[in-house]
Chain A
């Protein structure tokens, strides 16, 4: 069973397009994380959310706790945004993290 589901699995966009990546989860959570994995393999944390919305530059993350759903938006996409984006949740009351399989984004110039 997958506690975290992401869609789409793969996404190709033209430079400048608005991009949305979706994440649904089935467990109670204390926080949701969005991560970016670069082509070289390194992983960096983009956002940690427990409610509402966060914005950092061209990236926006939202979460709806009642619907168990989060979205990551990229405005004015750029080729350097090409990476795998991973949704992860931290279980409520516990120390377990569950990860989605990632969305592979390619932005074409």
Chain B
């Protein structure tokens, strides 16, 4: 049971570089989301998707892009990395946007932007 798989686990970027954080789930979940976790703050929602082809912004979307071409994959793109994007990123999925379901989290990606 793979669950939610995030890659990479660690990444160091220079300011202005771009990169994609990968997230895949094998549970046929409709709802997928990306969060960032910063010291002293709760997890904050960046973007979410309620199904293939449908994405929406969360609380802190600036500087990030997402797409959902398949049910399984939900990549997060940083177009031009900034030091303020240094954080730990978590991807999560749950069964359905409409029905209630517990969230399953990936192991996280620790990103440093220099």
Contacts and interface: CB of A to CB of B under 8 A. Distances in A.
A43 B58 contact: no
A88 B35 CA distance: 12
Contacts of B41: 101
Contacts, number: 58
A4 to B, nearest CB: 7
**A-side interface mostly:** strand
A95 interface: yes
Contact of B100 (A31, A96, A102): A31
Contacts of B107: 41-42
Interface stretch (B12-20, B44-52, B63-71, B78-86): B44-52
Q: Max chain A CB contacts within 10 Å: which of B43, B56, B104?
A: B43
B74 interface: no
Given A30-B100, A97-B43, A100-B42, 14 more contacts: A2-B42, A31-B100, A42-B107, A43-B90, A43-B92, A45-B102, A48-B102, A86-B42, A86-B43, A88-B43, A95-B56, A96-B45, A98-B59, A101-B41
